[in-house]
Structure formats: structure tokens, C-alpha cells
Chains A and B, each alone.
Chain A
Amino acid sequence: MVKLSKFFTREVISLVLFFLILGIVMGVFSFLSPRFMTLDNMLRALKHLSITSLAALGLTFVIAVGHADMSFHFVSCFAAMTMSYFIGILVWPPLPSILFGILAGLLFGLINGFAVGKFKLPDMAATIGIGTFSWGLAYLYNRGNYIYQNFLTSGIIQFSDGNWQGIPYPVIYLFVFYILAYILLHRTKFGRGFYAVGSNRIAAKFSGIKVQHYIIAAFILSNVLASFSNMVMTAAQGNGNVKGGLILLMPAYSAVFIGVSVFKKPTIIGTFFGAFLVSIMQNGFTLISSPFYIMDLVVGLTLIISIIISRIEIKKNLNKTVIAIQDGIS
């Protein structure tokens, strides 16, 4: 019994549970829709995955430094509309237009980062404010109307629909960004900084970690990656739409927190797992043509459940700390 419990550590149990749930979800969908398990659909799911997972990837860093970002979906709309404006109204070629879109994301990442990291504003309220502001800006480009001019002729569609050796670009973005992010967060000293700041800011400061820099960097990553993801989505849709990025918020949070509930802390692999589960569900619900609100319902529920699971262990630690502190006082 003792040996068994040693093998079934929390990590192993949660991994097994995760794959069990994933298996059940996939089983149910392939039962409900014969098209689910086709190669065609899997490729489509993978493209869907890249949208959700890129937004979630950036958010992972913000959660790692112990903050919340309620702006990235808004900012992504501003970035996508910036790109669309350059393509459709100014008739620029795709590459510089994409760069300006990324720059827009970078700008708001900096603003969010300074607001929370340097000026220590409460993260939720500040990012909602800044995000909403950026969303308002997005309306200014074309008074909130779609921008679709030049989308077919400029070649921007290739940004999403192109492929290399048969692999769709979005899948390549997905793997390139995830591998880079994995190296950054788990294989470099900078990754240590993100976690140190997130777990204990004061101790991090006492260890010579530049706390503010990490918070600013996290918000930049979050806003830029969400912007990138929305730009890919915009290219795929063939028009710029001020509301296109709003759907990123929930799936991204769900993905990160599913990851946290499996690995106890925000990790790149955990976020990937989470995004995978969320995308499979999104794909499946679309296939069985269920109404859109069913998807919201399920994704929302998944987020809540994963937050509860991820809290369990943390709470235990907290109790231990409280007892230890009381002992210390005595």
C-alpha cells in the first residue's frame, strides 16, 4: 500500500485523470458524429487548437507571475484591426501589416505591464480598463465596420491558409511558439524569474530578481501572442472584425487552469494539454452542430472545475503555513 501510494503521486494521478477525461470526451464525440475521427477534421481541430493555444500560451506567463490579464482578448481585436487597416485601407503588403499588428499588441502589453508591475494598480480592474480602451480604439479604424478590402488579393490569406510541406502554417506557429516558450520558461534562468516572482515576490526581490521586468515581460507576451493568434484568425476569416478576438478569453483561461490543475502550477505543457482539451470540445460541439451557448456553458464549467482542482493542494499548503506561523509566534 505504501509503495502504491508512492507511485501514485499527485502528478501521476492528475495526468491519468486528465487523459481519462480527454479519452471520454473524444469517445463521446466520435460516437455522436462519425466525421469527428477523420483526418480532415483532426487537421481542422489542430488549426483551431493553434488559435486557442497561442492566446493561452501568453496568458500562462501572466498567471506564472501571479497576476491576471483581462485585456488580451480586447487588445487582440485592436491588433487585428490594425493589421486589417494596413491591408484593407492603406493597401500595404501582408508582412509589414502583420508587424504593425504585433506592434499594437506590444504597445498595450507595455502599458498593461507598467500599470500592474510598476504602478502596482490592481491587475483585474486595470487590465479591464486598458483592454476596453484598446477595444474602443479598434472601432476607430473603420467605425466598427468589417474591413475586407484587399484581403483576397493581398495574400494575407496565406498567413493562415498557407502550408509548408503540407503542414498548415498555424500548426507550425503552434509548435514553434510552444517550443520557444517551453525553453524560455523551463530551461532558462528567466523562467526561474517568472516563477519566483509569482510564488513570492518579496523573496524574489531579496534574491536580486528584477520583479517589475518580469511582470512587464509577462504582459507583453500575453498581449502579443493573443494579438498574433487573432491576426491568424482574421486572415482565415478573410476580414477584420472588431469582435473577432473576444472569443479568446474563456478558452485561454480554461486552458491555463486545466494545466494548473494537472501540474500544480502554470506550465507550457499543462497549457498545451488544456488548450487541446478545450479545442477538442469546441470542435466536437461545432460538429454535432449544438447551439453556441452549449459550448460557453461547457467551457465555463471546465474553467470552474479546473480552478477548484488546482486550489486543492495550494490550500493544504496554506493551512500548513498558518499553523507554522502560529507556532512561530508562540
Chain B
Amino acid sequence: MNKTILEMKGITKKFPGVIALENVDFSLHAGEVHALLGINGAGKSTLIKVLSGVYQLDSGEIFLDSETIEINNPQKAKELGISTVYQDPQMIPSFTGYENIYLGSETVSRSVFRLVRRKSMRKNADKLLEKYPFDINLNQKVEKLSTIEKESIAILRVLSRENTKILVLDEPTSILSRKEIDILFKQIEILKQYGISIIYITHRLEEIFQIADRYTVLRDGNKIGTNQITKEIDKNQVAEMMLGKKLSKIYPDKSTKQGDVVFKIENLSFNNKYRDINLSVRKGEIIGIYGLVGSGFDELCKTLFGILKPDQGKLFIREKEVKLQSPIDALENGIFLVPGDRRVEGQILDESVSFNLTLANLENISRRIGLIKTTKENRDSKGIINKLDIKTNSTNTTVSKLSGGNQQKVVIGKGIYTNSDIYIFEEPTVGVDVGAKSSIYHLIDELSADKAIIVASSDLEEIYGISDRVLVMYKGNVILDKPVEQVTLEEMLICGLTGVGNG
């Protein structure tokens, strides 16, 4: 039974400035479901990309059926029978299910016109369904199907290549409902019967106890351990493996001197993405919201900045109700959002540092008719560059030439230049190196002296490290809401991963 089909040994993968994987071993038994666990940035995706040929490994060996193999490109991986289904599989919405399954490998007639032979395609698809009895109608157009049905089609697409031995499921349940997850698990059981080995990547702890045979934990690019799933396994122990004990010194000491409530949110709900959010932020306070990607904090932040309009609920600034129709309203009411997707939402990459720094407060550097006061712009930009210690040659340097950390500081600088009262930071340190991370945390802390601050992030340590009060969101609900002294990292992690709060 426990025949090893895949063996990865000493896998190392480096990116400029980062070691994504260091000497990682991983093995997969035939017909098992092997869960790959780790927090964001642990190296799960990198390992899978090495396996599926997207990345080339720097050192290490891969054995398939005890034979050394080299996976140079995604095509090679498929030829070897290794296929990946990503969390949001791409399909052509106006095509039917079976057309999508055979997309690119259509059976065509032998005539000069190479007509697609629908009949034989449909026949093959029926055969496929006979073998793997998934409950799905393949004659429907994909645009009419639910998420789980699309995912089933993506899996069938993989299975339609007869040599498929290893199936990688990359966070398959992140956008599925409870019921859909059960359907997926049934399908996984079917696949196991046919001896297909599955690597199952997930954040969600409770799932692996249902479906997996073994699990491997990665942390900071290292393998922490591989264990059998047993009945008496302890969630907390797994969580500890994912987190590690150390909480580094990169966080500032908390200087809590809180004032009046500046910002209050009452019963805010939006389009099923989050429900009944209540929250109040005092001057001098940092509220941290932890949640996985998709837990709803992204939508919440965008609502607080006037980008999305809530279905219900109220916002108060200093006890006065405000309605935010647009970011312009938000800025006028003294709210600034440092958005989560810096490249798309945060910066004008082709323009200069000073262009970006002043963009949200052009009033401040222009005369009444709109003429820019160049000297003031320069002086103020330099002031912010010095204050935030942005590493740039000049105020005229194009932002695209800066490092990720400095780019993020420019976005934060743009916010500081608006002199708002309420700052919302979404994923403030994504794609930022450790040094810049620390200085961003200190910056947030300094800012909190006379501002109200909300930080929302999927980085657990970050939220724990800088917040005065923490909230944990799971699938749109706030599961936990406590002062930071009263929670532990493990408690937050389990809440965020499983949605089960114990207090």
C-alpha cells in the first residue's frame, strides 16, 4: 500500500534576496491524500510550482516511481502525469462542460477542415463520467455552473489525460461553500480508488482531518515535519508547527495612550462578503483584523474607503454619521486607505515619487486656479522622503525603480500627506523585505499617536505584533474580538483557519 510514487529531495529554490525553499524533502505515497500546510509565504506555492515545472529548482532531486526526472516546463510535468488544479480554474464561459474538458485536445475529423467532432468528444466525456461518477451535467454552458461544478470540470480535464498519476489541488476549498466542500471530498474519495495521489494545499486545518492521510508542514521555506493523521491529533500542535515559537523583535513596543472614539462602525454588511461588523476605533489605538484571503476584510476595508457601498449599517466619525459614496468622500472625511494591492490600487508606477506622494492631496500644493507650486511640492516631498526614510535618488525618480518596501512607503507617504484622522492599512507589508517591514510597523505605531488606525492582514504575526485590539474574521463574520493581551497566536490562528472561536 505505502508505495512511494513521488520523492522530492533537498529541494532548494532561491529568488533574488529570498530563499523560498531550503533543502525541503517531500514524499507522496500512491493513492494517498497528502496535505501541504503552511502560512502565507511558507513556500507551499513555490514547492508546487517546482513540481509542476513553472519554476526550475536551484538544487535537489525529484524521483517519480524511483526514477530521476527533470521537470523543465509545465508541459513536461503533464507528460509525466503531474497536473495541478488551481483555486480559480480558467475556462471559456460560453463553452459547455465537455468542450472545456477537451479544450486544446479536441478530437478533429480527418478532412482538410479539421472540424471538431462533437459527438466523439461527448462520448469520451460520458466515458470519463462513467469511470469517475461526478454529479454534473457536462452539456451545460460553464457560465451557468456553480463554483464546485467548474472545479469538477477542471479536475475532469486533468483526468481526461489518461496518464495522470498525481493531482495537485491548490487551495481548492477557498471559494467553496460548506456543501460544495463535501461534494469535493466525495470526488477526492473516488479519485483515491483509482490510485491517483493527491497533494492537497490548504490553509484550513479542519479539512485535513477529514480528507488527508498525512500532512507536511512548511515554514519560512523549511520543512518542519511530516506526520500521519490520527484521531488523537492536536490542532494546537499543528498550529504551533505552522507558526513557530519565535516572535521576532521587528515590532515596536506598544505605546498605548488612547483618546476618544474617532471612528465607529455599526452593523455593517455587504453582499454576503461580511456581515454585522461592529467596531470602534479610538484615537491612539490600533485595531488589527486578521483573516484569510477571502474572509471579507478586503471588502470591509474598501467599504470604509467609499469604494464599495454597504447594504446596511452605519459609519460614524466622532459620533457624526457619514455616508461615503466614493474615495473622494472618504478623503474629505479624513479617511485614508493604504490598499492591499499596491501595484494595482496604490501607485502610479510610471510616475515620479513626488507625483505619487502628492496625488491624494494636490490641493495642498496648488494655487486656487490649479497651478502647481513646484517649490512647495519639492520641499514637502523631500520632507516625507526623509520622514519615512524612503530610499530614492531624488523626488523625480520613477516609482517603478524603487524596491517593493520603498514603493509601499511611497503609498503610505501619500496617505500621510493627506493628514487624515483615520488610517486603514490593508496587507501593509506584502512583498516587502524584513527590514522595510520593521520600519513600516514603527511608522504605523508613530502614526497611531494621534490617529485612529485599522490594520487588516492575512499575516497573523503582523496583526498580533502591532495591534492593541484584535479581531479575527472568518467567512465574513467576526469570530473573535479581544484586547491583544487576552489572546494567543494559536487561538487567533485556529479561529482564522477553522472559524471556531473559543471565547
Contact A321 B349 (CB under 8 A): yes
Interface: A207 (CB within 8 A): yes
Contact A189 B362 (CB under 8 A): yes
Given contacts A203-B344, A317-B350, A328-B431, contact A210 B328 (CB under 8 A): yes
Interface: B8 (CB within 8 A): no
Interface: B400 (CB within 8 A): yes
List of A residues within 8 angstroms of B359 by Cβ: 192, 196, 204, 207, 209
Of A188, A193, A206, A320, which one neighbours B345 at CB under 8 angstroms? A206
Of A183, A320, A321, which one neighbours B371 at CB under 8 angstroms? A183
The answer for the CA separation of A328 and B355 in the assembled complex, in Å, is 25
The answer for the CA separation of A328 and B330 in the assembled complex, in Å, is 29
The answer for the CA separation of A13 and B136 in the assembled complex, in Å, is 61
Give residues 302-330 of A contacting B (CB, 8 Å). 317, 320-321, 324-325, 327-330
The answer for the CA separation of A5 and B346 in the assembled complex, in Å, is 32
Band of interface residues on A: 20 to 34
Give residues 181-228 of A contacting B (CB, 8 Å). 183, 187-190, 192-193, 195-196, 199-200, 202-210
List of A residues within 8 angstroms of B431 by Cβ: 324, 327-328
Of A187, A188, A189, A206, which one neighbours B307 at CB under 8 angstroms? A206
Encoded as 1 (CB less than 8 Å from any B CB) or 0, chain A from 132 to 169 comes to 00000000000000000000000000000000000000
Of B331, B400, B414, which one neighbours A320 at CB under 8 angstroms? B400
The answer for the CA separation of A265 and B351 in the assembled complex, in Å, is 10
Contact B348 A189 (CB under 8 A): no
Of B46, B327, B358, B372, which one neighbours A187 at CB under 8 angstroms? B372
Interface: B127 (CB within 8 A): no
The answer for the CA separation of A204 and B349 in the assembled complex, in Å, is 11
The answer for the CA separation of A205 and B305 in the assembled complex, in Å, is 11
List of B residues within 8 angstroms of A317 by Cβ: 349-350, 400
Give residues 379-397 of B contacting A (CB, 8 Å). none
List of A residues within 8 angstroms of B360 by Cβ: 207-208
List of B residues within 8 angstroms of A207 by Cβ: 327, 359-360, 414
Contact B370 A196 (CB under 8 A): no
The answer for the CA separation of A189 and B359 in the assembled complex, in Å, is 9
List of A residues within 8 angstroms of B371 by Cβ: 183, 187-188
Q: Return B173 CB to nearest CB of chain A, in Å.
A: 19
Given A192-B372, A210-B328; 10 other pairs, CB 8 A cutoff: A189-B362, A192-B359, A196-B359, A204-B348, A321-B400, A324-B431, A327-B15, A330-B18, A330-B20, A330-B43
Taking beta carbons and an 8 Å cutoff, which residues of A are in contact with B?
183, 187-190, 192-193, 195-196, 199-200, 202-210, 265, 317, 320-321, 324-325, 327-330
A-B contact pairs, 23 of them (CB 8 A): A188-B372, A189-B363, A189-B370, A189-B372, A192-B372, A196-B348, A199-B351, A200-B344, A202-B344, A205-B327, A206-B305, A206-B339, A206-B345, A207-B360, A208-B327, A208-B330, A265-B350, A317-B349, A327-B15, A327-B18, A328-B430, A328-B431, A330-B55
